[in-house]
Amino acid sequence: MEPISSGSVTLVEDCHALGIEVFVASAGQDERMVQDGVRKLAHTVITVDTNDEAALTEKVCRIHARHPLAAVLPGVEPYVGPAARIARRLGLRGLTEGTAERVRDKALMRASVARAGLRVPRFAEVSDTTELARAAQATGGFPCVLKPVDSCGSMHVSRVDDLGQLKDAYRRLREDERLDLGIPLGSRALVEEYVRGPEFSADGYVAADGSVVICSLTRKILGPEPHFVELGHIVPSDVPPDVMKRVKEYVQGVTEAVGITFGPFHCELRLPDGIPVMIEIAARLPGDHITDLVHIATGVSLSRVMLAAYLGHPPEMLGALGEPEAASAGIRYFVPGAEPEDGAGRSAFEDGEALSLHSAVRQTGLDAEPGVALQAPEDFRGRTGYALFTASDPSDALRIWKELGHLMRTGTGVGEGER
């Protein structure tokens, strides 16, 4: 359903390479557009409003009656729930409805993990301005973080330092009429404790015996606060072995608490003083080309791991566990206005050729069209482009990340994710 993230595009490509027929469901409007490359590889592209679950279910059931399906997979975050419910209706392997709800709703997610005795940010749910002061007090006061309960891509996630800023941030969220994948933001939000420390994502999967396999503790590089724009990722990170052990034990507990019993996960966390604290967890492939970075630096194809898991096969059966191509890999996103040190500078459009000529760069791309007004540099929608690169080790990858920023003249201002 809606294979529009980098990870789900790879999923379609891997299906084609393995001789697996793919039926793609897409609305064919707004951001829900099937790329030409995906369309060519798909057996059939079904046009349906993917936000109308009844219509989506009916379409999929009709196809299943004529051409029995083996699995139903979400291509991007909002379709984790529909995929799970449709799989259950068809008698196919999938997440339970409860698990799908817990990984989609950050309030349910945090409550489940906290009940398991694991540390999470203190939080309170709000749906009205009158609840903000109480919520901030419940989280320990200021600074704290405001975020929608079921959004992604850092949309309307911001640090606030007093009640006035909190009210302003919540007002902006409620008044934002922009849709994401055709879905409004709504008014439900979390006010949560601000957790200091570097940010990472544990990217891996739950094996057949229930144990977690962390393929990469991926380093996140964030733009300057109060926003949390992701400017890059580096695979792997260079945390000490004892911290990595704590992370694995912690993520094992998180997956058990929310009910992820198979398949991939993308667990974002911070490490204050080396102690893991979950920011959120997803039961899907990561975006931002993290699947590509993991494949390059570890040899593990998370997309093939996901296919194998949903089809009930061991990952080795689909060739998911290979050899690394490089010791480290990273990606640099360019967000004019979120990287202040060098001023406005040139955009990714003007320096794309210079990027592609850099010896470490393997792939470049645009995240916005030339001539189109840029979104504010507050979330993923403010990105203009990216460069994916390889390196000799994580330290070298960070050096290249900074070098590419200087090359683009958009600066290297960073947040907690780099420090």
Q: What is the pLDDT of residues 307-355, one digit of tens each?
A: 999 999 999 999 999 999 999 999 999 987 665 443 334 454 455 667 7
Of 166-170, 309-313, 366-370, least confident by mean pLDDT is: 366-370
User: Any idea what DSSP says for residue 381?
Assistant: G
Other beta carbons within 10 Å of 118: 20
Rounded to a whole number of angstroms, the distance between the first and last alpha carbons of the chain is 37
As a whole number, the mean pLDDT across the chain is: 92
pLDDT, position 380: 78
Q: Closest by alpha carbon to 262, among 206, 316, 320?
A: 206
pLDDT, position 152: 79
- At the second CATH level, the architecture of 6-94 is 3-Layer(aba) Sandwich (3.40)
CA 303 to chain centre: 14
Q: Choose between 405 and 286: higher pLDDT.
A: 286
Average pLDDT over residues 382-409: 91
Other beta carbons within 10 Å of 382: 22
Tell me where in the chain the CATH 3.30.470.20 domain(s) lie: 199-408
User: Any idea what DSSP says for residue 269?
Assistant: E
Residue 260 has pLDDT above 50, yes or no: yes
Tell me where in the chain the CATH 3.40.50.20 domain(s) lie: 6-94
pLDDT, position 306: 99
Of 64-78, 134-148, 176-190, least confident by mean pLDDT is: 176-190
Residue 414 has pLDDT above 50, yes or no: no
Residue 133's contacts (CB-CB under 8 Å, 6 or more residues apart) are 163
pLDDT, position 350: 53
Partners of 213 in the β-ladder: 205
User: Any idea what DSSP says for residue 5?
Assistant: S
Q: How far is the CA of 193 from the CAs of 131, 144, 152, 159, in angstroms?
A: 16, 5, 18, 10
pLDDT, position 354: 73
Residue 27 has pLDDT above 60, yes or no: yes
Burial class (CB in 10 A: 0-12, 13-18, 19+), 242: exposed
By the 8 A CB rule, do 413 and 340 touch?
yes
Q: What is the pLDDT of residues 192-215, one digit of tens each?
A: 999 999 999 999 999 999 999 999
User: What would the CATH number be for the domain defined by 199-408?
Assistant: 3.30.470.20
By the 8 A CB rule, do 45 and 53 touch?
no
pLDDT-based confidence at 122, cuts 50/70/90? very high
The pTM for the full model equals 0.93
Tell me where in the chain the CATH 3.30.1490.20 domain(s) lie: 122-193
* CB-based contacts of 173-178 (< 8 A; 24+ apart in sequence): 173/146, 173/148
Q: How far is the CA of 12 from the CAs of 48, 111, 180, 232, in angstroms?
A: 19, 34, 22, 24
pLDDT, position 382: 80
Q: Closest by alpha carbon to 159, among 112, 200, 121, 108?
A: 121
Triad 166, 168, 170: Cα angle to 5°: 70
Other beta carbons within 10 Å of 107: 18
φ, ψ of residue 147 to 5 degrees: the values are -155, 150
Q: Which CATH fold would you assign to the domain 122-193?
A: Dna Ligase; domain 1 (3.30.1490)
Q: Closest by alpha carbon to 228, among 268, 271, 187, 283?
A: 268
% of the chain at pLDDT higher than 70: 91
Partners of 329 in the β-ladder: 235, 390
